[in-house]
Chains A and B, each alone.
Chain A
Amino acid sequence: MSSDKNECSLEDVCDLLDKLALTQLHLMEDKMRCELGIESSINNGSIHLAKSRYIMGQSSVSKERLPTESSPEFTASITCNTVEEDYVKQVKVIETQGGINPIHWFGVLVPQNLHKAKGIFQNAINFVIECVNINIQLLENLDNYNILLKHKNNLLKDVKEELK
């Protein structure tokens, strides 16, 4: 009776392990898709940054224009927040209005390409958040898999001992 119970439970554990392994493969595929989305956004955005440099001059769109430690303080207009929905942790984007417009670091009359680059990188941030959420799920899935694998090994030991 006890052996039947164990075998049944072992079968359930094996099924669950298979499901977790399959989920992991899907998550890995999703992560790679997201990373390729980020790559494509960065490549497109970089082309528009290069076009802006061509129009405005080499040093006009460069790290020299970024704020430094001696610049006045300012807050980010895009931040994130971790929330837990149905026992699943998820990162969400928060857009704050009324902050500074980063485009003004590069001038007042900037080419249209810089506005396009801004839009493309904002889209990349959405891919980033999606990718971070997948990473969280990947790691949680891995933890669950390892716990179940240990449980399965214990069950196997019990079955072997009962057979002896």
Chain B
Amino acid sequence: MALQAAVKGKLISVIGDEDTCVGFLLGGIGEINKNRHPNFMVVDKNTPVSEIEECFKRFVKRDDIDIILINQNVAELIRHVIDSHTAPVPAVLEIPSKDHPYDASKDSILRRAKGMFNPDDLVH
């Protein structure tokens, strides 16, 4: 890891289950800014999908966030919103959780990348 105290970098935000959030915040990515807005959201089984969607959209709009980490099972709940986000910044990374292993067939970036090998395109 580069040590550059003088440079103020962009944030890594996280939307996920309790262990994912606690873990990554322990790692040091957590922040509460001047407006008292956190860069993380803990999702449990009672969290409404609309709240997750709203939080994701809020993180996308924030210009101090460069990376949004989201558990793949949570991303599945708001798949339409994630698929509609095609801008390179903030980068959205779907990560596995302890209860839900990584499934490459669900990853939005990999599905887009696989589009290159679409048989219809290869015929040309």
Report yes or no: A132 in contact with B91, Cβ–Cβ below 8 A.
yes
Report yes or no: A121 in contact with B124, Cβ–Cβ below 8 A.
no
With known contacts A91-B66, A128-B67, A76–B38 Cβ distance under 8 A: no
Closest beta carbon of chain B to A124's beta carbon, Å: 7
- The size class of the interface chain B forms with chain A is 35 or more
> C-beta contact mask, B82-124 vs A, less than 8 Å → 1, else 0?
0000001101010111100110100101101111110001001
> C-beta contact mask, B8-50 vs A, less than 8 Å → 1, else 0?
1111100000111111111111111110111110100000000
Check: A21 CB closer than 8 A to any chain B CB: yes
Report yes or no: B89 in contact with A35, Cβ–Cβ below 8 A.
no
Contact of B11 among A65, A79, A121 (CB under 8 A): A79
Give the tally of cross-chain contacts (CB within 8 A): 198
Contact of B95 among A98, A128, A145 (CB under 8 A): A128
Nearest 4 A/B pairs, CB to CB: A79-B9, A121-B27, A77-B28, A94-B9
Apart from A35-B96, A62-B18, what are 6 other A-B pairs with CB-CB below 8 Å?
Answer: A39-B96, A63-B21, A81-B66, A122-B1, A125-B28, A135-B109
Most B C-beta atoms less than 10 A away, residue of A42, A63, A66:
A42
> C-beta contact mask, A29-66 vs B, less than 8 Å → 1, else 0?
00110011011001101100100000000000111011
Report yes or no: B40 in contact with A97, Cβ–Cβ below 8 A.
no
With known contacts A66-B42, A136-B91, A128–B36 Cβ distance under 8 A: no
Report yes or no: A102 in contact with B36, Cβ–Cβ below 8 A.
no
Q: How far is the CA of A8 from the CA of B54 in the complex (A)?
A: 53
What residues of chain A lie closer than 8 Å to B30, measured between beta carbons?
66-67, 74, 76, 102
What residues of chain A lie closer than 8 Å to B96, measured between beta carbons?
35, 38-39, 42
> C-beta contact mask, B45-87 vs A, less than 8 Å → 1, else 0?
0000000000000000000001101000000000000000000
Q: How far is the CA of A149 from the CA of B8 in the complex (A)?
A: 40
**Which A-chain residue is minimally distant from B43 (CB atoms)?**
A63
Closest beta carbon of chain A to B89's beta carbon, Å: 7
Q: How far is the CA of A111 from the CA of B96 in the complex (A)?
A: 26
